[in-house]
Structure 1
Amino acid sequence: MTDTTAQNAGGLSGNVLFYSQPEPLSIEAHGKLGVKVVDKPYAFIGQTNIVPLTVTEFAPAALSYPVIFVGDSKQPVVAMGLNANDNLFVTDGEFRSDAYIPAYARRYPFVYANDDAQQRMILCIDRAAPYFVEGGDTPLFEGTEPSAYVKNAMEFCNNFEQERLRTESFVKILTDLDLFEVKEANFTPRNADGTPGQTQKLAEYFAVSEDKLKALPADKLVELRDNGALGQIYAHLVSLAGWDRLIALALTRQAAANA
């Protein structure tokens, strides 16, 4: 069950990346707020190198980034940089025009939170987001009702929640089939004389093992094909070539800084 507004946040639970001051949206607390256009709309994402991804985004995201799995939960994410606080695709609060923007970032500053007391989801906003100001151009409420802008945000968040659950099911399928393996992204620089330098480990993550995938029984491969998982797996595997792009972007940025 979901709801647009709430009276208090006493029963809410969960922490969400990028949201520093989440508050349940309500007419009492936010009735005078509106949304304004800001110069750096994606500044909130500029200091992180990974962003969560849903499974239906694997194919478009694979054109821009490595799609990898991290943590005990095997959370799918896109790698946007080689260092923890460095995003190679966001400059001065703006995304590269040729880069796919994950839905996780596009739904900001709205998000659903669990209301444990009433067993429902409540729409929240990050009150610290620079978009919200009193008397903003696009109001959050029209009279006592959520505005069309808020209703669109709620629909987007609803769709995102459905995709998040679908992603959890996808990861469970891969886990149950024991398809994951630990992989590394490495970089071997060239010395001044052109010889290979010392190899550097850039990242360690989980990925689908191509050997384990090939070893699956035919009926399991058919199941993965029919439920759409096989296409997403291949998108993930193809995306891993994107580490070379990240390295090239990092070297270009370093050369520009040195110059």
Structure 2
Amino acid sequence: MATAPANNLPLFYNGLQPLSSTEHATWKARNIDTAPWLVSQHAIPVTIDEFAAAQRFFPIVFTQGKDAVPIALMGMNEGINTFVDETGKLIDNVYVPAWVRRYPFMLARLRPDSDELSLCFDPTAEAIGPFEDGQPLFEDGKPSAATNAILEFCRQFEEAGQRTTAFMKELFELNILIDGEVSIQPEGSEQPFVYRGFQMVSEEKLRDLRGDQLRKMARSGMLPLLYAHLFSLQVMREIFGRQVQQGKGPRLGQPAPAVIEA
């Protein structure tokens, strides 16, 4: 889930360019306080390594289809992120998904006939460039400590992505995913807002699994992940409340159903 061909760029990325010790010898990376590209993103992919931390702040659900992935909902409606202001600055002390922290870097395959991954970056990002300030990406023609740290983070992200892919494969084999639906009826609204367009674990199907299956899931660490997902669903109403409080919709008195499109 962490790599993508050039014609199918991942979320946030407008392009991918390999980081080069010759072409980018004097470039630096700098910290940025805002992420404008995050303002309109309500759903962010997460790995299973993040479930324990993310479930305290966001509902964790699964996208639809055979290539489903776990996502954290930062808003209940498409285009709405309740955790950043209009400039993309975080407005709360909240867990930031690794997918967000990795940007603008990522490991990617430069050739379809090779499994080798290279450190690449989004050339449109404002966090990397020929700046006077910031952390050097290369020193004496070699990757700097900052670049090595970035590379290690991206490697760990790739490994977490592989574990997540294996988790999703096992989840489908168990056949315990169902089409999700959440109905929220706030005070003052004649009809509830109904959210669909995602998958979730069926508690009934989970309870009906054989004892040997449950023991295997408990030993592998899968069972706690499923409960982290189920517990996180309670946060949906909190996210809905944040939207209403922030005036980001849906508006009370407008009973038309809303749909999560992730």
The two structures have a TM-score, normalised by structure 1, of: 0.88
How do 1:110-259 and structure 2 match up within 5 A? 110-115=105-110, 116-135=112-131, 136-191=133-188, 197-254=190-247
- The amino acid of 1:220's aligned partner reads Q
Deviation of 1:71 after TM superposition, in Å, equals 2.6
- The amino acid of 1:26's aligned partner reads S
Distance 1:119 1:163 in 2: 17
Query: 1:105 matched to which residue of 2?
Result: 100
- Which deviates more from structure 2 when the two are superposed, residues 218-227 or residues 138-147? 138-147
- Whether the 8 Å CA contact 2:9–2:15 is kept in 1: the answer is no
Query: 1:6 matched to which residue of 2?
Result: none
- Whether the 8 Å CA contact 1:109–1:129 is kept in 2: the answer is yes
Distance 1:98 1:75 in 2: 25
Q: Which has the higher strand share?
A: 1
Distance 2:168 2:224 in 1: 14
Distance 1:12 1:44 in 2: 20
- Whether the 8 Å CA contact 2:84–2:90 is kept in 1: the answer is yes
Deviation of 1:55 after TM superposition, in Å, equals 0.5
Counterpart of 1:21 (choices 15, 18, 21) is: 15
- The amino acid of 1:119's aligned partner reads D
3-state DSSP of counterpart to 1:16: coil
Query: 2:258 matched to which residue of 1?
Result: none
3-state DSSP of counterpart to 1:81: coil
- The amino acid of 1:245's aligned partner reads E
3-state DSSP of counterpart to 2:62: strand
3-state DSSP of counterpart to 2:197: strand
Distance 1:218 1:166 in 2: 24
Deviation of 1:22 after TM superposition, in Å, equals 1.4
3-state DSSP of counterpart to 1:241: helix
Query: 1:5 matched to which residue of 2?
Result: none
| 1:48-83 superposed Cα distances (whole Å, 9 cap, x missing partner) | 100000002111101001000003112100011122
Runs of 4+ aligned residues of structure 1 deviating over 3 Å after TM superposition are: 11-14
The two structures have a TM-score, normalised by structure 2, of: 0.87
- Whether the 8 Å CA contact 1:35–1:132 is kept in 2: the answer is yes
- The amino acid of 2:202's aligned partner reads S
Query: 2:69 matched to which residue of 1?
Result: 75
- Whether the 8 Å CA contact 2:83–2:92 is kept in 1: the answer is no
3-state DSSP of counterpart to 1:244: helix
- The amino acid of 1:212's aligned partner reads K
Query: 2:255 matched to which residue of 1?
Result: none
How many residue pairs align between the two structures?
A: 242
Unaligned stretches of 5+ in structure 1? 1-10
3-state DSSP of counterpart to 1:28: coil
Distance 1:255 1:69 in 2: 24
- The amino acid of 1:23's aligned partner reads Q
3-state DSSP of counterpart to 2:191: coil
Deviation of 1:14 after TM superposition, in Å, equals 4.5
Query: 1:7 matched to which residue of 2?
Result: none
Deviation of 1:37 after TM superposition, in Å, equals 3.3
Unaligned stretches of 5+ in structure 2? 252-262
